[in-house]
Structure 1
Amino acid sequence: MLGSGDEAQDALQNALASTWIARAKLDPSKPIAAYLTTVTLNKCRDRMRRRKAARLLGLGAFDPDMPVASDAPGAESEIADRQALEEVSRAIERLPIRLREALVLVAIDGRSQREAAELLGVTEKTIETRVYRARQRLREKLDFV
């Protein structure tokens, strides 16, 4: 969602801290995974809003075009894979938030459409449509998908 492993770790840590603080308010009969996912998604959304505001104000900018260094210099296939992954990550990052959330939950996180629908408060058909549209947009932008 955030396009950066470090930012994702920070968002997750913030989500876990928020959950820990709110632990007395949680219903022990309900599974914690859905709650944690929702809190984490909200933390990611907050970070994206702050990033967008910083760009608008000309404060420190996040550069998604910064090349990713290879762990094994000289391994052409690994470099090509990393470049492809970076290109896909940038394309996913440019998707509208509703499409990106559905795609990340279903295609990347491996959740069912039902779970994603419950987490996002929409119908399964909405999730199905959003994932389909996200994949269509990615196909249009990327030659190899």
Structure 2
Amino acid sequence: MEGRNDTPDEELVEKIIAGDKAAFGRLVEPHLPRLLGLARRMLSSADEAEDALQNALASVWMARAKLDPRKPVAAYLTTVTLNKCRDRLRRQKVVRLLSLRALGPDVAVAADEPGPDVEIADRQLLAQVTNAIDRLPLRLREALVLVAIEGRSHGEVAKLLGVTEKSVETRVYRARQRLRNKIDFL
């Protein structure tokens, strides 16, 4: 996996623990697109996702002394990012509960070739699906996003969430069932 000119992750982690910011950048850079995608899917907002990822990376940097050079960093970064997304979701729930502001999903629709009627139908379906996913209980949403959207295996998700593979399988199944019940044609 590592080329001759690449610095192994173990060496980078040791440099990071010593306070090397450039090493931190080299370590996390390959993971950024995946982590940002995960955060976007969890939070349904590009801005919120960027903020959550930035907070996650800041947390990792601040707690760099706890990093273990022998352990892979991808799972750790994913866990920290998920935790920051959970924090934001909790805050959003409180804000909605207190009715301080209305939060709606950012729905991006590409409009290259489809006609207006197809575009409207697609936009409505996407909004329905996004809204239905946003309303899933957090445990179901996490499992669904990690397995169905991120493409991770049940075993990998089980390790990330600290549950059994069967539990992940059940959560994904229940999430899909709830989505089917809420959206007629899925």
TM-score (norm 1): 0.88
The alpha-carbon distance between structure 1 residues 117 and 139, as it changes in their structure 2 partners (threshold 3 A), is same
- Where 2:43 maps in the other structure, the secondary structure is coil
Counterpart among 122, 125, 147 of residue 84 in structure 1: 125
Shift of 1:16: 1.4
Give structure 2 stretches of 5+ with no counterpart.
Answer: 1-41
Counterpart among 115, 118, 121 of residue 75 in structure 1: 115
Match for 1:102: what amino acid?
A: A
Match of 2:87 in 1: 46
Counterpart among 37, 46, 50 of residue 5 in structure 1: 46
Shift of 1:71: 5.5
Match of 1:121 in 2: 162
- Where 2:53 maps in the other structure, the secondary structure is helix
Match of 2:96 in 1: 55
Query: Is residue 62 of structure 2 the alignment partner of residue 16 of structure 1?
Result: no
Match for 1:59: what amino acid?
A: L
Shift of 1:47: 0.5
- Where 1:62 maps in the other structure, the secondary structure is coil
Moved runs in structure 1, 4+ residues, more than 3 A? 68-75
Deviations 1:71-91 (A, max 9, x none): 649832333323211211110
Two-structure CA RMSD over aligned residues (Å): 2.0
- Where 2:103 maps in the other structure, the secondary structure is coil
Match of 1:32 in 2: 73
Contact residue 103 and residue 130 of structure 1 kept, 8 A: yes
Distance across 1 between alignment mates of 2:108 and 2:170: 36
The alpha-carbon distance between structure 1 residues 125 and 57, as it changes in their structure 2 partners (threshold 3 A), is same
Match of 1:103 in 2: 144
Q: Which has the higher contact order (CA 8 A, sep 6+)?
A: 1
Contact residue 91 and residue 141 of structure 1 kept, 8 A: yes
Give structure 1 stretches of 5+ with no counterpart.
Answer: none
Match for 2:171: what amino acid?
A: R
- Larger displacement relative to structure 2 (99-108 or 2-11): 2-11
Match for 2:131: what amino acid?
A: R
The alpha-carbon distance between structure 1 residues 92 and 69, as it changes in their structure 2 partners (threshold 3 A), is closer
